[in-house]
A and B are shown apart, each in its own frame.
Chain A
Amino acid sequence: MTLGFYPGCSLKGSSREYAESVLALAKAFNIDIEEIEDWNCCGATAAHNMNKELSLALPARILSLAEKQGLHEIVVPCAACYSRLTVTKHELAKDQELTKKVISTNGLDYKGTVEVLNIIQMLDKYVTPNLEGRVVKPFDHKVACYYGCLLVRPHEILKFDREEDPQSMDELMLKAGATPIDWAFKTECCGAGLSVARTSSVGRLSGKIIRDAVDRGAEAIIVACPMCHSNLDMRRGAINSFLGEKIDIPVLYATQALGLAVGLDRRVLGLHRHFVTVTV
């Protein structure tokens, strides 16, 4: 079966390495992946703050395109995109009038038949069951799994993991040979979209996350969201000036850590693209 792929804006731009690592893993595990053609913006945080219909019509178009393309299941690695697509599916499923409106806006049929997977769900479904004998270079480090806000919320819609103390990424990292630490900032806010407007706020919020991870002995932080990654990695300057200390703990996507464990090439996984040099 072919697995659909919705990259969203980040995976084509600031977090190209996330896309690279997802595709590299897919290739390594013979997952047939196909990008949704003519995809558009998911609306991100902007749309649903301005106009509810717009915020549903944008993701609905993506899902319609996937249906049109004959896809039954898509992976959405960006946590924000995943949240928007899942919420849209949920909202449209319970409101036929709204669905009709969205269909007429988009001019595309919408049935709501496409399953939306986040990256952890995708790995759990297609990679970890085939992991036996594949972990050639165990990612033998203490890692802090950072889930951020969107991967597990809103719980009543996503029904994925425990919202206050998620475990799924920790379990995944265990399988990659890492030792996940028990820490307190798994789901605390990284500063998200304030990255540009109020970089110092991001420095403070992300700084607390980095501080706790390092204090508890983590050697790497593992993420599954491009926004989390850019804040923890690209904004390390602001973070370090908040902490008053130079901290160089690297931030890896879960797909990169798992990729390393199964022996994929560092360049293929895009590790050279990070701001903080990946030394692990």
Chain B
Amino acid sequence: MSKIGVFVCHCGENISATVDCVKVADVASKYDGVTFSVDYKYMCSDPGQTIIKNAIKEKGLTGVVVASCSPRMHEPTFRKACAEAGLNPYMCEMANLREHCSWVHEKADTTTEKAIDLVRILVEKIKYNQSLNAIKVPVTKTALVIGGGIAGIQASLDIANTGHKVILIEKDPSIGGHMSQLSETFPTLDCSQCILTPRMVEVAQHPNITLYTYAELESLEGFIGNFKAKIRRKSKSIDEKLCTGCGLCTTKCPTKKIPSEFNEGLGTRPAIYVPFPQAVPNKPVIDRVNCTYYIKGKCRVCEKVCPTQAIRFDQEDQIVEAEIGAIVISTGFTVKQPDFFPEYGYGKYPDVITGLQFERLASASGPTLGEIKRPSDGKVPEKIVFVACAGSRDQAKGIPYCSKICCMYIAKHAMLYQHKVHGGKSYVFYMDIRAGGKMYEEFVRRAIEDDGVNYVRGRISRIYEKNGKLIVNGADTLLNAMPVEIEADMVVLATAGVANEGAEELAQKLHVSYDPYHFFAEAHPKLKPVETNTAGIFLAGACQAPRDIPESVAMASGAAAKVAALFSQDELTREPLIAIVNRQPAPVYSSCVGCFLCVSACPYQAIEKEEIKNRAGEVIKSVARVNPGLCQGCGTCVAFCRTKSIDIQGYTHEQVYSEVMALLNEY
């Protein structure tokens, strides 16, 4: 027989102003199984909690119903109080008399009646509650960081500096990401490489970081604290231990005309190459798609000139398996490529370039050594037009969002151009100037006022080439939409920032969700910006949405803090409110018939098949089993189960049924 205590809270006047709390407590005291019932002004206060604790001890309560506010507010408080008095915390339930009753209804008899109903259903439910224990899972204290741009670098360093192991994988031959391609950075105009390369070196030398470049995630299994990752280390075709990075092979390679990815196609590289001089690691890889030996079976010049015999033409991809406790995704973004802007002639006219290409032109390490020269004939452009929102904020292009970084980098580009080309004329066509950020607006004003960049509010309708000039047609919407035509020497498009190709595939591999634009989805847009909805997997940088450097770094440190918090525990404690498939004595074993509809229904891949075997080791029956480490307690499987074999602990069929019956039966 249950011994239930009911504790009705006035919440100051929050509840008692509209609900007759004394009556609620009085009515509840007469229910079967209720042995104690009381009302009090503030049940959550120390004296209030003492009332509960004393009642548990003195009356030997087997269940506690606190009728007060939302469980979101104080369930942990009251469960803790119960536990301190020796009652299993899951034998405590809350009736929400505040948000669900007093706050939303007028003072009336019916309001009190509803409050009484809310208490009664929980009195009936708690009769079927069972003691539950928190779930413990071990934690592997190694983090996997996917993507070695600035976000991945920062996250790796932060995690490594807390004393935990990190495996950083990068798909390209060098870490550094987009930031390594940038010339100067807004709003301070400090050199991107100068602030980035020391961190790249730190990553390579950090004792806690294992760096795999030219590597990609092959597969991932497991759950928070207990992932198993397979990493494909693509063949570099060199023996990294022997290679000294002397670079002789890269100078002797006869295939030299491959468009350089690092220079965004504005320069060339050989088939055996280091992406850029400051690359980490500074050792070459062979691009097998373009290498003459792999195409024709002849050449091997690099092998002949290598002083340490480090070339390995027959090297194969390697699969590395690793136990991982947490993952940070920091795979970054890309920009829209040719054929997306036929009206701007991108891909057709060599002097219409992207913002990233302009970064390479302006960079001291770029193909022009920092001189602004146009790609077609190498002339210094006297007139240059920057087009903001090229693709972004454009429903018709399928990119309704703002790419966020462009307003600032365009101001920077125009400024760099004015600094480098004296007497040059620059125009920025914009929709709005979005310069939200510390020192950002000041930076844009500087471009306009100090450096004389012409900002024209309006969009460009078409760009075409005529007599060696790019004719740029647009409108000035601040001058009554007056048509503007500029004969420019070069045009820079602030192309929309979009998710990486293959982002969708990676998301599916990792079981994290993504938004309609294939950016990875955060667990909550405000309160969980670096978490995904898969426990133990975090986000950093522009893989979640277009982000600038300071934001990417902040996110990375945030994600690293989450990982460090996770790794500060030897075991993870989780709420036991998860699904469980029933088990029964032989010969039934379970009412589960093994249809496994639940497996396809589960959004967290938490349900697996379990084979029940007899002593001879023969399989008698295949039934579902819920992995307690993965289950999030969403209940989808319960709805799908045809034989009612799955229950959510704390919300079993029995419990919910008794609640409904309590409402239906006249008391």
Contact = CB atoms under 8 A, between A and B. Distances in A.
Given A155-B396, A164-B343, A188 B462 contact: yes
A165 B396 contact: no
Contacts of A156: 396
A151 B342 CA distance: 17
Interface residues of A, number: 11
Contacts of B396: 155-156
A136 interface: no
A184 interface: yes
Contacts of A155: 396
A184 B342 contact: no
B342 A165 contact: yes
Nearest to B471: A184
Contacts of B471: 184
Interface in A172-216: 182-184, 188, 212, 215
Residue among A183, A184, A215 facing the most chain B CB atoms (10 A cut-off)? A184
B466 interface: yes
B464 interface: yes
Contact of A165 (B343, B465, B466): B343
Nearest to B463: A184
B372 to A, nearest CB: 25
A215 B466 CA distance: 9
B602 to A, nearest CB: 36
Contact of B462 (A162, A182, A184, A215): A184
A212 B396 CA distance: 27
A188 B483 CA distance: 13
A162 B342 contact: yes
Nearest to B461: A188
Contacts of A183: 464
B465 to A, nearest CB: 8
B400 to A, nearest CB: 13
A186 to B, nearest CB: 10
A117 B608 CA distance: 54
Interface residues of B, number: 10
Nearest to A216: B466
Contacts of B465: 184
Contacts of A184: 462, 464-466, 471
B337 to A, nearest CB: 15
Nearest to A211: B466
Interface of A is mostly: loop
Nearest to A167: B342
A164 B396 CA distance: 11
B536 to A, nearest CB: 41
Contacts of A212: 464, 466
Interface string B335-366: 00000011100001000000000000000000
A267 to B, nearest CB: 38
Nearest to A182: B348
Nearest to A183: B464
Nearest to A165: B342
Contacts of B342: 162, 164-165
A180 to B, nearest CB: 15
Interface in B431-466: 462, 464-466
A184 B463 CA distance: 8
Interface string B452-495: 00000000001011100001000000000000000000000000
Interface in B605-628: none
Interface string A220-242: 00000000000000000000000
Interface in B66-95: none
Of B341, B348, B462, most buried by chain A (CB within 10 Å of CB) is: B462
A265 to B, nearest CB: 38
A169 B470 CA distance: 25
Interface string A235-251: 00000000000000000
Interface string A143-179: 0000000000001100000101100000000000000
A164 B471 CA distance: 16
Interface string B294-337: 00000000000000000000000000000000000000000000
Nearest to B467: A215
Contacts of A215: 466
A116 B343 CA distance: 27
B375 to A, nearest CB: 19
A155 B465 CA distance: 25
A162 B348 CA distance: 15
Contacts of B341: 164
Contacts of A164: 341-343
A87 B164 CA distance: 62
A69 to B, nearest CB: 36
B395 to A, nearest CB: 9
Nearest to A162: B342
A242 B348 CA distance: 30
A171 B396 CA distance: 25
A182 B464 CA distance: 10
Contacts of A182: 348
A156 B394 CA distance: 13
Contacts of A188: 462
A167 to B, nearest CB: 10
A69 B465 CA distance: 50
A58 B453 CA distance: 52
Contacts of A162: 342
Most chain B CB inside 10 Å of its own CB: which residue of A156, A162, A165, A188: A165
Contacts of B462: 184, 188
A184 B345 CA distance: 9
Which of A156, A164, A188 has the most chain B CB within a 10 Å cutoff?
A164
Interface in A60-113: none
B172 to A, nearest CB: 32
A162 B462 CA distance: 14
A188 B465 CA distance: 15
Nearest to A184: B464
B248 to A, nearest CB: 45
A215 B464 CA distance: 13
A37 B462 CA distance: 42
Nearest to A215: B466
A263 to B, nearest CB: 35
A188 B471 CA distance: 14
Nearest to B343: A164
A215 B343 CA distance: 20
B467 to A, nearest CB: 9
A212 B471 CA distance: 12
B322 to A, nearest CB: 46
A184 B341 CA distance: 14
A161 B543 CA distance: 32
A155 B348 CA distance: 22
Contacts of B464: 183-184, 212
A125 to B, nearest CB: 25
A20 to B, nearest CB: 34
B212 to A, nearest CB: 42
A162 B342 CA distance: 9
Nearest to A166: B342
B271 to A, nearest CB: 33
A155 B462 CA distance: 17
Contacts of B343: 164-165
A43 B119 CA distance: 67
Nearest to A188: B462
A188 B588 CA distance: 77
Nearest to B341: A164
A223 to B, nearest CB: 19
16 contacts: A155-B396, A156-B396, A162-B342, A164-B341, A164-B343, A165-B342, A165-B343, A183-B464, A184-B462, A184-B465, A184-B466, A184-B471, A188-B462, A212-B464, A212-B466, A215-B466
Interface of B: 341-343, 348, 396, 462, 464-466, 471
A-B complex: 10 closest residue pairs judged by Cβ atoms: A184-B464, A165-B342, A164-B343, A164-B342, A162-B342, A184-B462, A165-B343, A155-B396, A188-B462, A184-B471
Given A184-B466, A212-B464, 7 more contacts: A155-B396, A162-B342, A164-B342, A184-B462, A184-B471, A188-B462, A215-B466
